[in-house]
Amino acid sequence: MSISSIFIAQQDNHTALRARSAEQRIRQLQALGIELIKRKKDICRAQNKELKTCEMDTEAQLMMLKIELEFISKNLAKWMKPRKVKNSQATMGKKCYIQYEPKGSMLNISTWNAPIAINILPIVGALAAGNSAIVKPSELAPHTATVTHEIISTVFSSNQCAVIEGGPETAQELLKQPFDHIYYTGGHRVGRIVMKAAAENFADITLEMGGKNPAIVDSTADVNNAALKLAWGRMANAGQVCIGPDYILVDKTIEQKFIEEAKAALIRFYNPHGDGFEKSAEFPRLITDGHFQRVKGLIDEAISKGATLEFGGQNDASQRYISPTILSRVNDDMAIMQEEVFGPVMVVIGCEDAEKKLSIIKRQHKPLALYIFSKDRRAINFFLQNTSAGSTVVNHNLIQSGTNPHLPFGGIRHSGTGRIGGFQSFLEFSNPRSVVEAPLGWRDININFPPYSKIYKKLVGKMLS
């Protein structure tokens, strides 16, 4: 079936999808959950072929999906009900409520770094809200794309939800269709293409992008704990995590201790027996040769400009492998501070005080995530008050995404727009239609119709005095 015929078939199905009860929608979400678990081994195998992802890390993505599916299933009937709101003087005597209706057709252009989660998670909210959906997985994760395709076509008919595999040309073709909502995960270059295509049809958009996420470690922080957690957060998925801590602003007084603790943590995680980081089954590879060359280039350029290689730096192009690496003495002139690293490199910058840390953060775009490690309430408040980010975690990292459906997930400006997660997923793909209903048989007095009466003028005059 061609892209346009799938799109049209979905449009023709919208009236029926919209009429589906909460119970019917929940049954399908549950079937999706069952199918995902049934295909767990295939999903693990697929992601292992792509990034050398270990089973536990793929299972963590399945956990995120399970949490979202269960939370939405539990609450959907309540969310779908019209929500009564208070009256105002102008709507007195009438019934005012919000009726959530599906937007229509949703497109999910997905990426490769957590492919099963990013292929599926956004469509959970879209389908729950009564929309149709098309998923375009990343061509860089082709094995997961195929499994996703099989799972979706087992659970849904293509006039409700379909997977269309392919690369940029396929995405371009899809973007020509008048979708009601386009959801995109990936980098800025394509984000701009998606935003422009959406503008052609005034489609709503969610952009889930990345950027440079700062982590702040001040002198009151538990250095050992901060280094352990940040080493974990930075090296998860070999640094290919959108909310990973991209650069670490450490108080100069504790910088060396922090680096030593981070080194110890990396050895503990990935080389506990000393037989080599490359032997760790839990340390993935970079996704393509191009990504490998880009990250290696960032490390080489930073060192050539004066950065210190504190740890790691080994690599093997044939395996797309870069060992967990720590760089210090990094500055803004280096490319590594001008683009998202998205690789296994811990960038450590020693700072004299909070103002210096703030000035470095302010020179970057608003990040998807910002992390604060401190025991000082005033310092925590200072950074919360003076920075902006899609999300923040205090004294940890990476735990804010996909773990608590009460917390909306998304970015701000260059790191993205829109939010998903739990109720926010339902809301993102719904039109909250405002309805004002007069009681049946009601007759309005209509004092606000021309020619304006004295009583109406008096009333308005009183309100504005």
Q: Which residue numbers are catalytic?
A: 208, 242
Pairing state between β 416-417 and 204-208? antiparallel
Q: Minimum distance from CB of 8 to ligand NAD (Å)?
A: 21
Sequence-ordered list of residues with C-beta below 8 angstroms from that of 156, at least 6 positions apart, any chain: 28, 32, 127, 162
Q: Minimum distance from CB of 193 to ligand NAD (Å)?
A: 5
How far is the C-alpha of 7 from the C-alpha of 392, rounded, in Å? 38
| Contacts (CB under 6 A) with ligand NAD, residues 129-148 | 136, 138-139
Residue 398 and residue 250 in contact, taking contact as beta carbons nearer than 8 Å: no
Q: Which one of residues 51, 109, 302, 347 is an interface residue with ligand NAD (CB under 6 A)? A: 109
| Contacts (CB under 6 A) with ligand NAD, residues 386-425 | 411, 416
Pairing state between β 83-84 and 95-102? antiparallel
How far is the C-alpha of 291 from the C-alpha of 230, rounded, in Å? 22
Q: Which one of residues 126, 171, 216, 326 is an interface residue with ligand NAD (CB under 6 A)? A: 171
Q: Which one of residues 58, 73, 110, 328 is an interface residue with ligand NAD (CB under 6 A)? A: 110
Q: Which is nearer to ligand NAD, 360 or 420 (CB)?
A: 420
Q: Which is nearer to ligand NAD, 28 or 201 (CB)?
A: 201
- The encoded tokens of residue 427 equal 């809301």
How far is the C-alpha of 279 from the C-alpha of 283, rounded, in Å? 8
Please work out the total of residues on this chain that contact ligand NAD, with binding judged by CB under 6 A: 26
Nearest residue to ligand NAD, by Cβ distance, number only = 210
Of 8-16, 186-194, 227-235, 318-326, which part binds ligand NAD (CB under 6 A)? 186-194
Q: Which one of residues 130, 210, 233, 408 is an interface residue with ligand NAD (CB under 6 A)? A: 210
Q: Which one of residues 72, 242, 266, 427 is an interface residue with ligand NAD (CB under 6 A)? A: 242
For 118, how many CA atoms within 13 A lie in the half-sphere containing its CB? 25
- The encoded tokens of residue 126 equal 């879209």
Q: Please tell me whether residue 104 binds ligand NAD under the rule CB under 6 A.
A: no
Of 105-113, 258-266, 275-283, 435-443, which part binds ligand NAD (CB under 6 A)? 105-113
Q: Which is nearer to ligand NAD, 111 or 400 (CB)?
A: 111
How far is the C-alpha of 187 from the C-alpha of 457, rounded, in Å? 56
DSSP H or E run through 121: helix 115-128
Q: Which is nearer to ligand NAD, 139 or 278 (CB)?
A: 139
Is the four-CA dihedral 395, 399, 401, 404 of positive or negative sign?
Answer: negative
Specify the residue for token string 């020179």: 363
Q: Please tell me whether residue 284 binds ligand NAD under the rule CB under 6 A.
A: no
DSSP H or E run through 74: helix 55-80
Q: Please tell me whether residue 102 binds ligand NAD under the rule CB under 6 A.
A: no
Q: Please tell me whether residue 214 binds ligand NAD under the rule CB under 6 A.
A: no
Of 51-59, 163-171, 309-317, 430-438, which part binds ligand NAD (CB under 6 A)? 163-171
How far is the C-alpha of 388 from the C-alpha of 370, rounded, in Å? 8
Q: Minimum distance from CB of 368 to ligand NAD (Å)?
A: 5
Of 71-79, 185-193, 297-305, 445-453, which part binds ligand NAD (CB under 6 A)? 185-193
Kindly write down the DSSP assignment for every residue of 21-68, as one continuous string. -HHHHHHHHHHHHHHHHHTHHHHHHHHHHHH---HHHHHHHHHHHHHH
Q: Please tell me whether residue 295 binds ligand NAD under the rule CB under 6 A.
A: no
- The encoded tokens of residue 374 equal 């401190």
Q: Which one of residues 10, 61, 105, 185 is an interface residue with ligand NAD (CB under 6 A)? A: 185
How far is the C-alpha of 126 from the C-alpha of 128, rounded, in Å? 6
Kindly report whether the peptide bond that precedes residue 451 is cis, defined as omega within 30 degrees of 0: yes
Q: Please tell me whether residue 342 binds ligand NAD under the rule CB under 6 A.
A: yes
Q: Which amino acid is at 459?
A: L
Interface with ligand NAD (CB under 6 A):
109-111, 113, 118, 136, 138-139, 167-168, 171-172, 185-187, 190, 193, 208-210, 242, 340, 342, 368, 411, 416
